[in-house]
Structure 1
Amino acid sequence: MSTTYFSVLLLFLCLSLFTSLTTTIYSKPLTSPYLSSTTLFPNYQKMLKSFKIFIYKPNEALTFNSPAESLFYSSLQNCPFVTQNPEEAHLFFVPFRSTISMRSIGRVVKRHREELPYWNRTLGADHFYLSCAGLGYESDRNLVELKKNSVQISCFPASQGKFVPHKDIALPPVSTSHAPHAPDNKTTKFLGYFRQVKLKESSLINELVNDPNFLIESEPSDQLTYTMRLASSKFCLFEYGGDVSGIGEALSFGCVPVVITDRPIQDLPFMDVLRWQEIVVFVNNNGGAKELKRALGDTGGKRYEQMKGLGVKASQHFVWNELPQPLDSFHTVMYQLWLRRHTIRYARWG
């Protein structure tokens, strides 16, 4: 036999082996909603033991416009990560109220720069701040460094153009209700459930109003009704940029969230932690009801059951508690901050 024949045979065998291995890897169902559960949990324990944060003293009482901001700030103030010794801190928190002007924020940074040495060591790269709406780009040196270097914690969904992926962090929304846990035996009655106060603002939702497979309504009359809606729906619909406060409850109830958007989303909560593509269906708003139904139809059988199960596991991270609990919203946000504790040392200004 010729050398060419053996070369072709060897290539065929290698390709067959690669195809077999690839099929085995990708056909194996996921059992975890995490990007890497083998690193998440050991690192989380390390964070609990070692993470230290220094909070600059605000010169006024702070107020916030959103429940997520308020819960995060109150939890941060009382958490064991806070240290009174800035020399042992991994990160520094710059506090200011929601309604403060951009000029005043610049003065806050300027004061910290002049009174303490920690900002100038990294030009703010080991600092973080809380701003639900997010900060824009300004010409003031203090604001430039804050926006460019420091970690912004904002609300989800973030204002367009005011969130820097891979640096900034989005807070998960606080649920407007307190539904109990999902029933063990869930029977679905509706393909999709959408809850929104102002239905006329969405052309897609208006297309679905008269479809018997979808339940479209404003706020349910009581908590029991809302619980029944979640428990009896296969998918829960959320429009990106609208009310997404129920996304954690949807996950908890095994109602697979469907996020309807007209652009790529880069500000999802816990993007360093969760496999979002495995717990949520993303649908382009431009395709209308036809595209939505096609996407939901493609997410059926074993695929749907897997997404539902992974979503239930991930739902613990969307729970806000008055007193933080392990792996809840506050602790998972803190874990993302901990991942950012090794900062880049930016060159000083000339």
Structure 2
Amino acid sequence: MLSFHDWGPSTSSHVPQLFHNSIRILCNANTSEGFKPSKDASFPEIHLRIGEITSLIGGPSPSSRSILAFFAGRIHGHIILLFLEQWKNKDEDVQVYDSLSEGLSYNEMLKKSRYYLCPSGYEVAIPRVVEAIYAECVPVLISDHYVPPFSDILNWKSFSVQIPVTDIANIKRIVMGISQTQYLRIHRRVKQVQKHFVVNGPPKRFDVFHMTLYSIWLKRLNIQVRN
């Protein structure tokens, strides 16, 4: 069962036969809402603003990125509300906006940043994570109960930073605590995993389509269909 929207987990949980006897491929991979990492697969939320994906891929070198951490987005859930209250207009190094001023480009700001802050919204999955990977900006996942996409295949700790909601106030201290050598290693791995989050038509080897199929193939070992 494949669901891109938040209705997937709630709908399937009300149908026991579907819930127990299917591999659910969900963007909203929230363990507090019944997502089972042993049998369900987490799918990346991808928002393509333009039809041609190649123009979204890539970014400047780490040495030319002048912003430590960046976020832009409207209030969309209590985590983002807490996040904005803590960081909006509070620190020049951590640039947080609920709306960008005229003349500021979201994509340009993203490509100038070393880290992109990705707090969960009403649901745990957000398209900012993939946007960061496309722009070669290290994603900082700020959430609880979220199982990142393809985490049964990819080691997310090697190419992202994961921060619990209780540590929102410590974001700057945490990212500043990452040495330049560590950052360059993480940045290099972000570039390496880009291909796994790219949408191609028709699909190409190692892209998001094939990663999803591989994840399903792995999960099949953990599911037993019951009548």
TM-score, L = length of structure 1 = 0.54
- 1:144 lines up with 2:16 in the alignment: yes
**Deviation of residue 281 (structure 1)?**
0.8
Measure, in 2, the Cα distance between the counterparts of 1:205 and 1:213: 15
The aligned amino acid for 1:240 is S
| Among 151, 173, 189, the residue aligned to 2:45 | 173
Residue 239 of structure 1, CA deviation:
0.8
| Corresponding residue of 1:316 | 195
Query: Structure 1 pair 258/347, CA: closer, same or farther in 2 (3 Å)?
Result: closer
**What CA deviation, in whole Å up to 9, does each residue of 1:158-190 have, x standing for no partner?**
484131112101211112435533235341221
Corresponding residue of 1:182 = 58
Aligned counterpart, 1:193? 70
Q: Of 245, 251, 259, which residue of structure 1 is paired with 2:141?
A: 259
Identity of aligned residues (%): 25
| CA spacing shift, 1:183–1:240, aligned 2, 3 Å | closer
* 8 Å CA contact retained: 2:31, 2:145: no
Is the CA contact 1:173–1:245 (under 8 Å) kept in the aligned structure 2?
Answer: yes
Q: What is the Cα deviation at residue 220 of structure 1?
A: 5.1
Instruction: Name which of 214, 217, 220 aligns with 1:335.
Output: 214
**Equivalence for 1:303:** 182
Q: Retained in 2: the 8 A contact 1:252–1:315?
A: yes
Give, as a single letter, the amino acid of the residue that structure 2 aligns with 1:231.
K
Between the aligned partners of 2:114 and 2:222, the Cα distance in structure 1 is 43
- Quick one: distance in 1 between partners of 2:24 and 2:188? 32
- Equivalent residue, structure 2, for 1:130: 2
Q: Is the 8 A contact 1:156 1:172 kept in 2?
A: no
Give the letter for the 1:248 counterpart: V
C-alpha contact (below 8 Å) 1:220/1:226 kept by paired residues: yes
8 Å CA contact 2:39–2:223 kept in 1: the answer is no
Alpha-carbon separation, structure 2, partners of 1:146 and 1:188: 47
Deviations 1:46-94 (A, max 9, x none): xxxxxxxxxxxxxxxxxxxxxxxxxxxxxxxxxxxxxxxxxxxxxxxxx
Contact 1:270 1:333 in 2 (8 A): yes
Change (3 A) 1:346 1:136: closer
Which secondary structure state, in structure 2, belongs to the residue aligned with residue 183 of structure 1? coil
Q: Distance in 2 between matches of 1:191 and 1:326?
A: 34
Counterpart for residue 132 of structure 2:
250
Give, in angstroms, the shift of residue 221 of structure 1: 7.6
CA distance in 2 between counterparts of 1:221 and 1:288 reads 24
Runs of 4+ aligned residues of structure 1 deviating over 6 Å after TM superposition are none
Alignment of structure 1 residues 155-304 onto 2, 5 Å: 155-158=27-30, 160-178=32-50, 179-186=55-62, 187-198=64-75, 202-210=81-89, 211-218=91-98, 225-241=105-121, 244-261=126-143, 263-265=144-146, 267-289=147-169, 291-304=170-183
CA contact (8 A) 2:195 2:206 kept: yes
SS of residue in 2 equivalent to 1:340:
helix
Q: AA paired with 2:95?
A: L
**230-239 or 202-211, which moves further after superposition?**
202-211
SS in 2 for 1:145: helix
1:284-323 Cα shifts (integer Å, max 9, x gaps)? 222332x112211222211111111111111211122343
Structure 1 CA distance for aligned equivalents of residues 37 and 152 of structure 2: 11
Which of structures 1 and 2 has the bigger CA Rg? 1
Q: Distance in 2 between matches of 1:231 and 1:326?
A: 26
What SS is found at the alignment partner of 2:204? coil
**CA–CA distance in structure 2, aligned partners of residues 347 and 182 of structure 1:** 46
Contact 1:191 1:234 in 2 (8 A): yes
* TM-score in terms of structure 2 length: 0.80
Q: Deviations over 1:258-286 (max 9, x none)?
A: 1112x343x21101211011111111222
Q: How many residues align?
A: 213
Counterpart CA distance in 2 for 1:220 and 1:323 is 35
Structure 1 unaligned residues grouped into runs of 5+: 1-128
Q: How far off is 1:213 after superposition?
A: 0.9
CA contact (8 A) 1:236 1:257 kept: yes
Q: Aligned with 1:151: secondary structure?
A: coil
- CA change 1:219–1:176 in 2 (3 A) is farther
